[in-house]
Amino acid sequence: MFFRYLFFLISCTAFSQVNLLNSERPEQIGVLSENQKESLSDKKYLQYPYVDDKDIMWSKVVYEEIDLSEKFNHPLFFPEDNLYENERKSLWRTLREAILGNRIETIYMDNNSNFKNVMQIDDAKKKILKTKEIFGIVKNEVLKSSDISSYLIKGVWYVDKRIGEMRFRLLGIMPYGRDLNDEDNDSPVPLFWLWYKDLRPILHQQLVFDDRNNVSRVTFDQLLTSRRFTARIYAIDNVFNDRPVEKYVDDPFMQLIESERLKNVIRDFEQDLWSN
């Protein structure tokens, strides 16, 4: 009896949290109602407030890596692509489908974090989808969620003196994943930069699964803008053209120490701001 009950709990947890109780048929699970579609429409996400430059008394641009192997970041990594049709998606599947569906119009080169060098959409799609012919049979190989190992993000911490608060604004995100065009190399490579404001209407429409509460209504946009992830700083704006930590610290352990030191630069400024 206990194992039957345990199986029931696991089965319920495996289903999406959307429309579970109102479904007449199993295929209706995960199908959004009209009210749910309206609440998740791109008109409903919280717009960034306007910030005048003269109100910014301090700011720091930071570059961070979100390691998807860390448990706290698993909501960005899971589920695997073939488990659910539409109701649950990983962050990469959400981005991939938006790019292949031409919902993202501008993509930037991976070697430029200042969003000036635009990548051709077709070149970006070649990094995501590869067509090959095997024994006369044409097959499409797609970059799966399990192929993405991390995300690099660029953001800015700033103090708005008008409201007396330190805030974080996410500027861009770049997935790191397998190179479909280099079958002999399994090491992850940078794919491309995406301007985060272009992604917000798309990420707002996709709910994130919360294993602590199945009725959670957190979207990918809310998760990222509220920094519900763990990341390490790998670079910060400086006089050396935003030189990464690995360029001046060789030892991997000392790189982590340096990352913590850079994080403390921001934390200490906030503490000193209100203690003086």
More confident residue, 75 or 3: 75
Q: How much of the chain exceeds pLDDT 70, in percent?
A: 80
pLDDT interval class at 259 (50, 70, 90)? confident
Residue 9 has pLDDT above 60, yes or no: no
Average pLDDT score over residue span 242-266: 76
The answer to whether residue 6 sits within a structural domain is: no
Residue type, 223: L
What would the two tokens of residue 141 be?
């190989």
- DSSP secondary structure string for all residues of 199-267: HHHHHTTSBPP-TT-TT---BHHHHHHTT-S--EEEEE--TTTS-BGGGT--SHHHHHHHHHHHHHHHH
| CA 109 vs CA 52, 96, 117, 119, 261: distances in Å | 29, 16, 6, 5, 29
The answer to whether residue 248 sits within a structural domain is: yes
Q: What is the domain count for the chain?
A: 1
Range of the domain at 55: 32-275
What would the two tokens of residue 207 be?
């709910």
- Report the pLDDT value the prediction gives residue 211, as an integer from 0 to 100: 72
Residue 217 has pLDDT above 90, yes or no: no
Lowest mean pLDDT of 13-17, 81-85, 153-157, name the range: 13-17
- Report the pLDDT value the prediction gives residue 7, as an integer from 0 to 100: 34
**pLDDT digits 0-9 by tens, 165-176:** 889 999 999 999
The answer to whether residue 127 sits within a structural domain is: yes
- Report the pLDDT value the prediction gives residue 274, as an integer from 0 to 100: 64
- Report the pLDDT value the prediction gives residue 125, as an integer from 0 to 100: 94
- Report the pLDDT value the prediction gives residue 134, as an integer from 0 to 100: 76
What is the pTM for the complete model shown? Answer: 0.81
Report the phi/psi class of residue 49: left, alpha or beta, with left for phi > 0 and alpha for psi in -120 to 50: beta
Quote the mean pLDDT of the chain.
82
The answer to whether residue 65 sits within a structural domain is: yes
Which secondary-structure segment (H or E) carries 123? helix 121-128
The answer to whether residue 5 sits within a structural domain is: no
The answer to whether residue 8 sits within a structural domain is: no
Angstrom distance (rounded) from CA 260 to CA 233: 8
- Report the pLDDT value the prediction gives residue 98, as an integer from 0 to 100: 97
Residue 257 has pLDDT above 60, yes or no: yes
Average pLDDT score over residue span 136-158: 92
**pLDDT digits 0-9 by tens, 16-40:** 456 666 776 776 766 767 666 666 6
End-to-end CA distance of the chain: 63
Angstrom distance (rounded) from CA 33 to CA 264: 45
The answer to whether residue 22 sits within a structural domain is: no
The answer to whether residue 2 sits within a structural domain is: no
